[in-house]
């Protein structure tokens, strides 16, 4: 979370590694970028 309480990112972990679609948000809650991860690799 950002200091103002807005969510910073959302995504899933599989076996402790990022997996699937991850979304990252700015301090206003607007989508900054989206990334696709597979077993911890972009």
What is the C-alpha separation between 27 and 3, in angstroms, rounded?
8
**H or E element at residue 31:** strand 31-37
pLDDT reported for residue 36: 98
What is the C-alpha separation between 21 and 11, in angstroms, rounded?
6
CB atoms within 10 A of CB 5: 8
pLDDT reported for residue 27: 98
What is the C-alpha separation between 23 and 28, in angstroms, rounded?
14
Phi (first) and psi of residue 30, to 5 degrees: -85, 140
- How do residues 1-36 score in pLDDT, each as one tens digit? 999 999 999 999 999 999 999 999 999 999 999 999
Q: Output the pTM of the full model.
A: 0.86
């Amino acid at each position: 979370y950002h200091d103002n309480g807005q969510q910073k990112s959302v995504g899933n972990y599989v076996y402790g590694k990022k997996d699937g679609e991850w979304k990252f948000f700015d301090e206003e809650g607007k989508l900054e970028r989206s990334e696709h991860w597979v077993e911890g690799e972009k």
